[in-house]
Amino acid sequence: MSAIVDGVTLKDKLLADFELQKTAFFPDNPVLSGFRNKAAEAFKHLGFPTKKWEEYKYLSFEAFVKSELNHSLTRNSTGNVVQNELMVDDANNLFLIDGFYDEKLNQKKEWPQGVIVSSLADAIASKNVHALMHLGMHTKTDTDSFIALNTALFQDGLFVYVPENVHIEKTFQIIQSSTENEPKLIQPRILIVAENGSSVNFIHLQVSSNNNETTLINGFTEIVVGEKASVSWYNVQEVGKKMGIVQTTEAYLQNNAKFETVTVTLAGKLVRNNLTIVLKGTHCETHLDGFYFPKSGETFDNHTLVDHSMPHCESNELYKGAVAGDGTAVFNGKVFVRQDAQKTNAYQSNKNILLSEDATVNTKPQLEIYADDVKCSHGSSTGFIDSEQLFYLRSRGISESIAKALLLDAYAAEVINKIKHDSLRTKLSEVISGMIQQIK
Amino acid sequence: MLSIRNLFARVEEKEILKGFSLEVKPGEVHAIMGPNGSGKSTLASVLAGREDYEVTAGEIIFDGKDLLELAPEDRAREGIFLAFQYPVEIPGVSITNFLKTAINEQRAYRGLPPMEPKEFLQLMKDKKAVVEMDTNLTNRSVNEGFSGGEKKRNEIFQMAMLQPKLAVLDETDSGLDIDALRVVANGVTRLKSKENATIVITHYQRLLDYIVPDFVHVLFDGKIVKSGGKELALELEEKGYDWIKKEVALS
Ligand SMILES: Nc1ncnc2c1ncn2[C@@H]1O[C@H](COP(=O)(O)OP(=O)(O)OP(=O)(O)O)[C@@H](O)[C@H]1O
Ligand SMILES: [Mg+2]
């Protein structure tokens, strides 16, 4: 846990960390150590992305890579309750503090028969078959720096297993928070397995209880959605002004599975979301929506990939952003419709509103279709607030600032209203409304 | 109440109003007619304060205030209302929220506290009755997916809610079926009083059978070229604008 010495890069330091702990971390699990070794090799080869990389060309990780980030290696339970304006109070809370599952904060609950909710490290240590069967088994660990880094070095995270035909009514609220005081690299790993016919809903809240360090969160979440299973995943991000998040989320859908996700990014210096949804079965349905609101000094980048590889699946994507001050938004949405994916319905839309002359948007929708019997569309737009609408409201006596707020609230609501958790939806609307009113 | 003197206005370098003058007193109804493109909607936009239009000369005094100095919202708060020829759709903003905000903003300007929710709901109910507006319509977003006629009816509903001193109705009759026309026109008539005034922009005499004007003006090429009583509208309906164009050419 030492700070970086001059001349030693963060990459070197992380690889040294890996060498140090690889014998200590689950040495008796050859499969796991095998793919960790492979991931470490990949990270050694790839390093951190630079702006020369096509996939990361609008992002600079320099502030993080140069800073004296400590790799968060130890379980450091605080027992202190985290508070954030966006937390709902009608969910089962699961706290991850600095990437570690916090036993003290997570009250033990009675789950339905066979449901597992535990620390990921514990699940691995106890050789849980479901965890070991899926962890890292569906993803590619050698092409993306952050997946490789997380895979090589993650220490803990969360494991949730929902057995066949079990329906969990009450939403899980995963609160991912970081402690203050020193810059850290936090690498939570989450594995969700929803077996055939089951259903479960999550709120994934990335917050930072006043942490204003150049902390970087490199989270990786894998979600396995079994046949006829249904999972919703609401990812809400609001972290400190100097903090960064790289959040990779991958969902793998079997036949007739349903996966709905909404990503809302409200604060942070740099937030990059890599969302990949792989439709591995037929008759799958997925909805992926997002709202991002970068303000001065903030860059929010959403990369999404929907991979249609089987017939009769449907995907619907709506990402909307409002960019204020000198903020930057990036949207890159890939939809692949592979040759076998006949009868696919795939829709994608990206809309951006610039709230200042200094705001920047880079948007790139990419639809690649190799099947011939499909219904697909995509579109993107970037512009200022509609002046006709603004004038109409003002002509009724509504001040310019309130008129703008009304229009922006409505604009955001199109995405926020996709959230089916009532109290989260209400809280988000209020917080976004408050942010809008603070924009000059 | 309203005094427009020698107004020149342009949009994108194009001169549209070229010496327009008009006096409106409380209680009066003025009809403005004129061929397409003569500048009627431009006049309405300039009155409401649309920023795309640049006033290059002339003045507009409303209740003693220099209207051109005021932002659009302040003009509305002073009592000017424009029923748009093409009302815009505002997805996601409910009519109720929109009108509540507008009314309370106008009240704040006049030093009044926000309207009690109960009073507001009652007002909504009363005014919906005046324009025979479907309840379902007010639960929807402003004009979103409304038919042409519904949009026009919604304009008059808003006028009824906001109770302006001066209403400018820009072709509110176009796109209305005969029943809707009667309802809308009766609504306007019922809202008339000694204190408020109405400027009706229209192409058709038909509307003026219901909203009987005190004056009819013909706008041509950016200014009023002929004014008269309500019989002028009948004459225009019969003969078109050619004879006026000839008169203008001769003089
Ligand atoms: N924003 C604009 N940009 C360019 N030209 C404009 C703009 N607004 C109006 N004009 C032009 O100004 C002229 C007057 O338009 P205006 O809408 O005032 O006419 P009008 O009398 O209301 O016509 P109509 O009876 O068709 O409604 C037209 O030639 C129109 O094309
Ligand atoms: Mg017009």
Cα–Cα distance, A58 to A304 (Å, whole number): 15
Would residue A226 count as lying in a domain? Answer: yes
Cα–Cα distance, B63 to B25 (Å, whole number): 10
Encode pLDDT of A382-423 as tens digits: 999 999 999 999 999 999 999 999 999 999 999 999 999 999
Nearest to A394 among B72, B84, B99 (CB): B72
For residue B13 and ligand 1, the question of a CB distance below 6 A is answered with: no
Q: What is the DSSP letter of A167?
A: B
| Cross-chain residue pair A414–B88, CB shorter than 8 Å | no
Residue type, B45: S
Q: What is the DSSP letter of A231?
A: E
pLDDT of residue B123: 95
Give the burial string for B146-179 (b: 16+ CB within 10 Å, else e).
beebbbbbbbbbbbbbbbbbbbbbbbbbbbbeee
Q: How far is A397 from chain B (nearest CA, A)?
A: 4
Owning domain of residue A253: 4-281
pLDDT of residue A5: 44
The CATH number of B2-250 is 3.40.50.300
Cα–Cα distance, A194 to A227 (Å, whole number): 9
Q: Quick check: A416 and B122 in contact, CB under 8 A?
A: no
| Cross-chain residue pair A410–B92, CB shorter than 8 Å | yes
Which residue shows structure tokens 């976004």?
A432
Q: Look up residue B243 and give its two tokens.
A: 């004879």
Other CB atoms within 10 Å distance of the CB of residue A128? 19
Query: So where are chain B's domains?
Result: 2-250
| Cross-chain residue pair B98–A407, CB shorter than 8 Å | no
Would residue A54 count as lying in a domain? Answer: yes
Give the atom of ligand 1 at the shortest distance from the alpha carbon of B45.
18
Centroid of ligand 2 to alpha carbon of B230 (angstroms): 21
Please count the structural domains in chain A. 2
Smallest CA separation from ligand 1 atom 28, residue: B37
Centroid of ligand 2 to alpha carbon of A320 (angstroms): 34
Q: Of the candidates A316, A364, A367, which has an alpha carbon nearest to the alpha carbon of residue A338?
A: A367
Last residue of a domain, one of A281, A306, A330: A281
Phi-psi region of A139 (alpha: psi -120 to 50; beta: other; left: phi over 0): beta
pLDDT of residue A76: 60
Q: What is the ipTM of this complex?
A: 0.95
Would residue A244 count as lying in a domain? Answer: yes
Which of B32, B40, B236 to mutate to test ligand 1, by most ligand atoms within 8 A of the CB atom?
B40
Which residues, 6+ apart, have CB-to-CB distance to B86 below 8 Å?
A: none
Q: Alpha-carbon dihedral of residues B232, B234, B240, B242, nearest 10 degrees? A: -30
Q: Look up residue A242 and give its two tokens.
A: 């100097």
Would residue A99 count as lying in a domain? Answer: yes
SS3 category, A270: strand
Last residue of a domain, one of A281, A297, A312: A281
Q: How far is A392 from chain B (nearest CA, A)?
A: 7
| H or E, element range at B112 | none
Cα–Cα distance, A298 to A267 (Å, whole number): 7
Residue A118 sits in the same domain as residue A267: yes
Centroid of ligand 2 to alpha carbon of B38 (angstroms): 8
DSSP string, B177-218: -HHHHHHHHHHHHHH--SS-EEEEE-S-HHHHHHS--SEEEE
pLDDT of residue A81: 64
Give the atom of ligand 1 at the shortest distance from the alpha carbon of B39.
18
Would residue A109 count as lying in a domain? Answer: yes
- State which residues of chain B have pLDDT below 70: none
Note whether A405 contacts B: Cβ–Cβ < 8 A: no
**Chains A and B: how many Cβ contacts under 8 Å?**
78
pLDDT of residue A27: 67
Ligand nearest to the CA of A388: 1
Which residues, 6+ apart, have CB-to-CB distance to A357 below 8 Å?
A: none
More confident residue, A142 or A345: A345
Residue A18 sits in the same domain as residue A166: yes
Would residue A399 count as lying in a domain? Answer: yes
Asked if residue A2 has pLDDT above 50, the reply is no
Encode pLDDT of A75-121 as tens digits: 665 556 678 899 999 999 999 988 999 877 776 678 889 999 999 99
Give the bridge partners for B59, in sequence order. Answer: B5
Cα–Cα distance, B70 to B49 (Å, whole number): 8
Scanning A379-398 for CB atoms below 8 A from B yields: 386-389, 391-398
Cα–Cα distance, B2 to B25 (Å, whole number): 7
Chain centre distance of CA B226 = 21
Smallest CA separation from ligand 1 atom 26, residue: B36
Q: Of the candidates A347, A433, A235, which has an alpha carbon nearest to the alpha carbon of residue B93?
A: A433
Would residue A325 count as lying in a domain? Answer: no
Last residue of a domain, one of A237, A256, A281: A281
Q: Lowest mean pLDDT: which of A26-30, A166-170, B49-53?
A: A26-30
Smallest CA separation from ligand 1 atom 31, residue: B37
Which residue shows structure tokens 């009250």?
A107
| Chain B residues closer than 8 Å to A391 by CB | 48, 50-51, 72
**Residue A1 binned pLDDT confidence (cut-offs 50, 70, 90):** very low
Nearest to B106 among A391, A397, A407 (CB): A397
For residue B16 and ligand 1, the question of a CB distance below 6 A is answered with: yes
- DSSP H helical segments within A47-153, as ranges? 62-66, 120-125, 129-134, 145-153
Q: Of the candidates B216, B183, B184, which has an alpha carbon nearest to the alpha carbon of residue B199?
A: B216
pLDDT of residue A80: 64
| Cross-chain residue pair A397–B109, CB shorter than 8 Å | yes
